[in-house]
A and B are shown apart, each in its own frame.
Chain A
Amino acid sequence: MNKNFGLSEKQFNQMIEEMRLDNNVLFESIFLSHFKDCIAFLKQKYGANYNDAYDATMDTLLEFRLRIIDGKVRYGNVRYLFTKMATQVYMRNRKNYVARDVEEDDLKADDVQLNHDELHQLSQAWQELSDACQRLFKLHFYGNMKLSEIAKDDDRTPLSVRKQKIRCLNKLLTAYSKRNKSTINEEFLPII
């Protein structure tokens, strides 16, 4: 199979632009189709059981998507990078269980790790946000779009998008604080 999943560089860059706008159609059509192959690879090459291979591939998909958006994956040999990352994620998931022989230098754990309660509470706070706030956060935090780019896309001024972001952040943190007994210090809330 083509080392870039059959994508030209132009198509790859186009895919990134679409992903940043929360349009994952092309990404999903390529990478979800590769899912089975990746499970098979991990099973065959590393003797992974099915569930571990499934989890590692899913984790890889989520991380790989963020890395593409964050500009950390470049066109060249995307298939190899994905497979290598899946191997590393599989090894990372199993690192206290089996000996490792794969470098993990580019797979540092996220330094903010929500515990079960926090994840639940923040998910609930997220659900309380308006569609507009969720969209803004998805584009800005998940799609890594600058506020000025969002403003241009929505035909608005950067200032109004910035104010919207602060309002949305306040709503999110207030909703979260209501659910979490340890309230966030008010002086740390963004000021409009």
Chain B
Amino acid sequence: MKNFYQSYDAAVSPEERELVVKKALRQVIHIEQRKEWEQVLNHQHGITRIEKNQLLKISWMKLLTVAASFAAFIFAGHYFFNQQQTIQALAQEYLAEVPVHHPGLSKGVSEQDEQNRQIAISLFDSQKYAGAIDKFNVIVKLSVQDQFYLGLSYLYYGEIDSAIPLFVELDKQTIQYREEVNWFLSLAYILNNDQSKAKIQLEQIKNGDWNFQKSKSLLTKLN
């Protein structure tokens, strides 16, 4: 399988080059089509990428909190629910926009780790996140990069509860993925229905950082 540039250069005739462009453009148009259909499915059929009951999953502690503030919820309930759905849909949309790809293999400590890492990266880049999670998890000594991509695999796979602690840990450990962690941790909090933490995390995204404008859009909806 070749990438676009290699394929275009390797084509020997104008017809072949046009075919390369056609195949590449179909992938570009698919992104738009997918987004459009995701919105139609969400708005007209009530179907989202992450199952609604998972999106709205509330832990027992949260449930107690909700019960305690039930009266306030009655007044604000309808508005809150709509806002919640909207911001989670937006976060989901941002997450699904363009799949992240792994930059490639980095050095590890053992041959076995190298093999597992190589397979995990390949699975991640093919968007087979369940397999990638399995493979990252058998790496004995996880690098910072492994942890980041394991967190991303959990997030894309919808196991948000597993993604969050990894990103939080990375946030404490290193600044290597500061901008990425700020962004993906914000999305994870939103999808996990934790608005206060999402807000704090989004506020870490400064002007000039990756996805600053989008973080502003999310903050506006949260405020």
A96 touches B3 (CB 8 A): no
Q: Which residues on A sit within 8 Å (CB–CB) of B2?
A: 111-113
A116 touches B28 (CB 8 A): no
Complex: chain A residue closest to B99, CB-CB: A116
Report the separation of the CA atoms of residues A114 and B31 in the bound assembly, to the nearest whole angstrom.
12
Digit string of A118-133 for contact with B (CB within 8 Å is 1, else 0)?
1110110010000000
Q: Assess whether A142 is interfacial by the CB under 8 Å rule.
A: yes
Q: Which residues on B sit within 8 Å (CB–CB) of A118?
A: 3-5, 24
Complex: chain B residue closest to A66, CB-CB: B26
Q: Assess whether B22 is interfacial by the CB under 8 Å rule.
A: yes
A115 touches B3 (CB 8 A): yes
List the one stretch of B44-52, B140-148, B175-183 in contact with chain A: B44-52
Contacts A96-B123, A116-B98, A122-B28 given: A111-B1 contact, CB under 8 Å?
yes
Shortest Cβ gap from B158 to chain A (Å): 4
Shortest Cβ gap from B127 to chain A (Å): 8
B5 touches A184 (CB 8 A): yes
* Cβ-defined partner of A123 (8 Å) among B1, B5, B98: B98
A110 touches B33 (CB 8 A): no
* Cβ-defined partner of A113 (8 Å) among B1, B131, B134: B1
A141 touches B22 (CB 8 A): yes
Q: Which residues 120-178 of B sit at the A interface, judged by CB distance below 8 A? A: 123, 125-128, 130-131, 134, 157-158
Q: Assess whether B208 is interfacial by the CB under 8 Å rule.
A: no
* Cβ-defined partner of A122 (8 Å) among B1, B24, B99: B24
Complex: chain A residue closest to B33, CB-CB: A62
Q: Assess whether A58 is interfacial by the CB under 8 Å rule.
A: yes
A184 touches B28 (CB 8 A): no
* Cβ-defined partner of A142 (8 Å) among B3, B25, B51, B99: B25
Complex: chain A residue closest to B11, CB-CB: A188
Q: Which residues 86-127 of B sit at the A interface, judged by CB distance below 8 A? A: 98-101, 119, 123, 125-127
Q: Assess whether A33 is interfacial by the CB under 8 Å rule.
A: yes
Contacts A93-B128, A116-B99, A188-B9 given: A110-B25 contact, CB under 8 Å?
no
Report the separation of the CA atoms of residues A141 and B29 in the bound assembly, to the nearest whole angstrom.
10
Q: Assess whether A86 is interfacial by the CB under 8 Å rule.
A: no
* Cβ-defined partner of B25 (8 Å) among A33, A50, A141, A190: A141
Q: Assess whether A7 is interfacial by the CB under 8 Å rule.
A: no
> Which of B1, B4, B50 is most buried by chain A, counting CB atoms within 10 A of its CB?
B4
Report the separation of the CA atoms of residues A52 and B51 in the bound assembly, to the nearest whole angstrom.
11
> Which of B17, B29, B38 is most buried by chain A, counting CB atoms within 10 A of its CB?
B29
* Cβ-defined partner of A141 (8 Å) among B11, B26, B49, B54: B26
Digit string of A130-144 for contact with B (CB within 8 Å is 1, else 0)?
000000011001100
Report the separation of the CA atoms of residues A54 and B30 in the bound assembly, to the nearest whole angstrom.
16
Q: List 12 A-B contacts (CB under 8 A).
A: A32-B40, A35-B41, A50-B54, A65-B33, A97-B131, A110-B1, A111-B1, A111-B2, A123-B31, A126-B28, A172-B25, A188-B8
Give residues in A with beta carbon < 8 Å to B.
28, 32-33, 35-36, 39, 50-52, 54-55, 58, 61-62, 65-66, 93-94, 96-97, 109-120, 122-123, 126, 137-138, 141-142, 169, 172-173, 180, 182, 184-185, 188, 190
